[in-house]
Structure 1
């Protein structure tokens, strides 16, 4: 089937409408209903959990006569299951829609299949219309669907010999200004910044994202403090622009699931060696950022502690994706690999 220019324009409009919806557990979705001659009849978007989906929202503005024979242009494949609302594929069929175009396939095991349902009922369906733009819009949500939890980046700063602090516990500043500015930029790209109570008690961090002059950046990650010890009433984190989340759970997978329900897609962990090691040990790390300064500290305060590795065969293998120089420091970005290295031998 040929996608008309007017339909591509309608998809661009649907993508713009989608961003009106909240970022969270549910995807941002927009929809446009076109007449057979290409006129926009109605528009809609998803306003959050429990509200009508974008297609149903758009159809609600039309009479049955207007919808019959029309084209639905949607940013995400119409869902095929009943949750808090009914299946959008069935709503489109009931309205008499004759043609459906969408940008991104629904990755859900339960919710996918709307396109096949529509085709089986005789509706013309065109997938991947402005798919790249649609996937860009839904990038963080799609990552959560793939992982089943938020994406986790673990960051630490270390000396050249792998220490996160000097023997007396001091750690400010191992790295220079350029590296610290890069950290704040990455904080601002996250939905939540996670630390342990040890870091809060030792350093009293504000956990804000700031520019080089110290001013708050436009987007602030929500602070999350994990640990059994109480956070002092006058701690800097309690003055964060966003209300902190406190958790005493040692089950980090459960913590991540709780954050997902809060609409968190990207987690930035920079809470010290104990917490970083726990995320690695529990297999919950998707990206590692290691800022390495050309200094030597010696002593016992390693950037990572026990991560459950007893022998070289059990090493957590990483694929190095980039190395960047930041002033006098280096930033190494790496991702865990799930397959053994090519030269690995069976024992």
Structure 2
């Protein structure tokens, strides 16, 4: 079966078009959980879920368990629902997986089976979809949403909690959590816990988050890439004080952008411009799927816009400088994060070298 875009699949679920076998994979766990709840609401009456809803972990199942789960008839209802999580735990010869594949050859009309693959961890090469499941199910990739989609998600979830966010506050929240919907949901829960009130402004949200507008890791990367060494240097002390932020972490984010700029410049040198350049870079991102949380569409647009200012020799020199900085940070516990990163900023500052 062909893969289904998540947006199209969500519309089908809202319309009550539920296929008998669904395979959810990708990095956005929050959207997977929301999809499961949406399917459950359509398939099983709340009063009958004790009888007609089962949720299991793949590692705990054998072949007989799978057969029993999938072929049990619903009680006092037309359909039942079975969710099996962590299917990446199955190897090709696992008895439970073999039983699932046999079942999927002719799935029962009375059962809605949802198979869920967990988001891959960093440096984990097992994040690819299972080809056996993709060909036998309605396979849906639940990837990281674009910035615009994440902002709409925040607005909707805030409204559900009785919280009203001003537009610039929504933008800042998404940027401050780096598009992480789970982190955004946590912050919305905190806001809801404060009780109703007037719309939450950017100033109020900034105070609650402890992250000032324009002072996120993403803002720092933008300043470096856009040849603004003064701003990038001024941002560093504030950003390094944020919870969960480290010099090595900043280098990892910057390194991803530098490699992306290289990809964009290669296409630029081939003569691509505008929308064609954007599309080529975006398609490369979809194929490569770099680790970490990255807004593919937004990143493709940014790298394409900056490609002219970053010839390949400059990209290569920047990557080499970033590697040296990484070795300095990891080589000794006495390394001054701020000093190492300021040195890197100055090495990458194209306009400063041109002026000299």
TM-score higher than 0.5: no
Higher fraction of helix: 2
Q: TM-score, normalised by structure 1?
A: 0.31
Higher fraction of strand: 1
Q: TM-score, normalised by structure 2?
A: 0.31
